[in-house]
């Protein structure tokens, strides 16, 4: 008989408690699938006296995460505390140095210190598994690292934050403002009291940095990711997108270009016919474009205790089976330093919404500035509000929305053209610019 895998868990929040429960409930299935049992033998958390909906009788309680990581009585250290630094970092390092395998759901830690930790795993022979760090129950890490090991990846992109997708879905379907939808997301528990990490795109950027490393064999570099959030999106942008055959999503995109690996997070117009456009609410999705194969889209719950715990337990099962993959798909020494593609050189189509002053020569001035930057227009729509008097109380005519869709051009050219248009004083306020991602 093979001895059971003895697991120690640091962190008993929503995910940690669900992992304990899942291992208990699925004990027989895990034993049958792994060829050995899996047992939680020790845990630690900030409060020992807090009431929890799990039975911890017969499970040892460690004083702190570092003591648990150094405990010779465990084989696998599971870190579910979160945070990009201490105490998670030191505890994982200690576990790996002692030859243990580590499972974590900590995207912030992997994005910042993943390579350092992977070196410890290589040196001391333990596994470092982090499937739950990106997409929770969606097995995108294993797909990139193992399932597509023989495929050259050209692009990986997706909806990696359920909070943003929920907000954009509600805005589109109900015509609500960003502020109204955010407030509702907070009430339902989809958004934090301070939601900036999600809605400003930083959560997506951490996940994208991890996926880019796995996809392209590069060093994880969150600093190489261009980041833009969704707070500037207006209901009128979503209405225009619908009429033009698009839908707006916050995407994380990593793509191989002649100028380097382009990594970007921003609101994006995607064709309504695309798989990614069909993903609504808090659901996540990742599409992988590989050489010689049609795009692969993985869709599922990207957050939540049950979804995240399922990925954590799957990683624990790999440890029990004796499976040890290189954390980032290849030895750390073979990961290339990333060549950051400058965002101003990004090329693609653009949606541009201008509030044009209703003056003679406005359209000609806008067209001239675009032509100067060699920007070709695929379509142009001028929208007078139906049934609304556009003349203000002063007798002056209010600005009229003008929507432009460009053919492929460069980011730099768009910014130069719009700066010139603003300088000409033929528009009011700042132009709205949303990039378009084709299939």
Q: How many residues does the chain have?
A: 439
Catalytic residue among 100, 107, 207, 249: 207
DSSP 408: S
Question: How far, in Å, CA of 378 to CA of 229, rounded?
Answer: 26
CB 263 within 8 A of CB 226: yes
Cα 137 off chain centre by = 14
Whose CA is closest to 107, among 225, 24, 267? 225
Give the DSSP per-residue string, 298-361.
Answer: EEEE-SSHHHHHHHHHHHHHHHHHT----TTSS-GGGSBPP-BPPGGG-EEEEEEEEEE---TT
**Which single residue is written with the structure tokens 């729509």?**
381
CA atoms of 151 and 310, how far apart (whole Å): 27
Cβ atoms of 301 and 284 within 8 Å: the answer is yes
Q: Is the peptide bond before 382 cis (omega within 30 degrees of 0)?
A: no
Which residue has 């702190």 as its token pair? 64
Q: Are 311 and 139 in contact, with CB atoms under 8 Å apart? A: yes
The structure tokens listed for 132 are 């739950």
Measuring CA to CA, which residue among 342, 107, 350 is closest to residue 226?
342
Examine the residue annotation and report whether 425 is marked as an active-site residue of this protein.
no
Contact in structure between 266 and 165 (CB atoms under 8 Å): no
On whether the CB atoms of residues 45 and 11 are closer than 8 A, the answer is yes
Q: Give first-to-last CA distance, the chain, whole Å.
A: 52
Are 320 and 32 spatial neighbours (Cβ–Cβ below 8 Å)? Answer: no
201 burial type by CB count under 10 A (0-12 exposed, 13-18 middle, 19+ buried): buried
d(CA 270, CA 262): 18
Nearest to 75 by CA among 34, 107, 22, 116: 34
Q: Is beta strand 246-257 parallel, antiparallel or unpaired with respect to 260-271? A: antiparallel
Q: Give the three-state DSSP class for 367.
A: helix
Pinpoint the alpha helices (H) of 175-328: 178-187, 196-199, 202-216, 235-243, 305-321
- Catalytically active residues, by annotation: 207
């Amino acid at each position: 008989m093979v001895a059971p895998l003895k697991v120690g868990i640091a962190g008993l929040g929503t995910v940690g408690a669900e992992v304990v429960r899942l291992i208990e409930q699925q004990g027989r299935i895990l034993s049958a699938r792994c060829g050995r049992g899996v047992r939680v033998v020790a845990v630690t958390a900030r409060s020992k006296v807090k009431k929890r909906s799990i039975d911890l009788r017969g499970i040892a309680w460690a004083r702190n995460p570092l003591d648990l990581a150094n405990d010779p009585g465990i084989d696998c250290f599971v870190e579910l505390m979160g945070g990009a630094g201490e105490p998670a970092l030191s505890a994982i390092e200690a576990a790996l140095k002692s030859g243990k395998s580590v499972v974590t759901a900590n995207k912030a830690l992997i994005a910042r210190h993943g390579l350092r930790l992977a070196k410890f795993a290589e040196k001391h022979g333990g596994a470092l598994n982090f499937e739950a760090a990106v997409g929770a129950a969606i097995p995108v890490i294993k797909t990139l690292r193992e399932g597509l090991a023989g495929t050259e990846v050209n692009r990986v992109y997706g909806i990696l934050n359920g909070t943003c997708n929920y907000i954009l879905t509600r805005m589109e379907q109900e015509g609500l403002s960003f502020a109204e939808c955010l407030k509702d997301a907070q009430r339902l528990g989809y958004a934090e009291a301070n939601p900036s990490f999600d809605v400003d795109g930083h959560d997506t950027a951490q996940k994208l940095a991890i996926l880019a490393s796995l996809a392209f064999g590069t060093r994880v570099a969150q600093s190489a990711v261009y980041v833009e959030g969704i707070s500037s999106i207006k209901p009128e942008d979503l209405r225009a997108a619908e009429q033009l055959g698009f839908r707006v999503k916050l995407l994380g995109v990593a793509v191989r270009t002649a100028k380097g690996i382009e990594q970007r997070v921003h609101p994006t117009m995607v064709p309504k016919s695309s798989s990614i456009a069909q993903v609504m609410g808090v659901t996540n999705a990742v599409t992988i474009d590989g050489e010689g194969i049609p795009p692969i889209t993985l869709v599922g719950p990207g957050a939540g205790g049950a979804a995240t715990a399922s990925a954590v337990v799957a990683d624990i099962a790999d440890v029990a089976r004796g499976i040890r993959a290189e954390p980032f798909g290849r030895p750390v020494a073979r990961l290339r330093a990333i060549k950051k593609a400058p965002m101003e050189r990004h090329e693609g189509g653009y949606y541009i919404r201008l509030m044009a002053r209703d003056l003679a020569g406005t359209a000609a001035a806008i067209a001239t500035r675009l032509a100067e930057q060699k920007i070709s227009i695929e379509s142009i729509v001028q929208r007078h509000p139906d049934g609304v008097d556009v003349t203000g109380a002063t007798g002056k005519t209010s600005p009229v929305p003008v929507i432009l869709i460009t053919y492929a051009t460069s980011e730099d050219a768009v910014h130069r053209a719009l700066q010139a248009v603003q300088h000409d004083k033929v528009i009011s306020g700042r132009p709205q610019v949303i990039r378009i991602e084709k299939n």
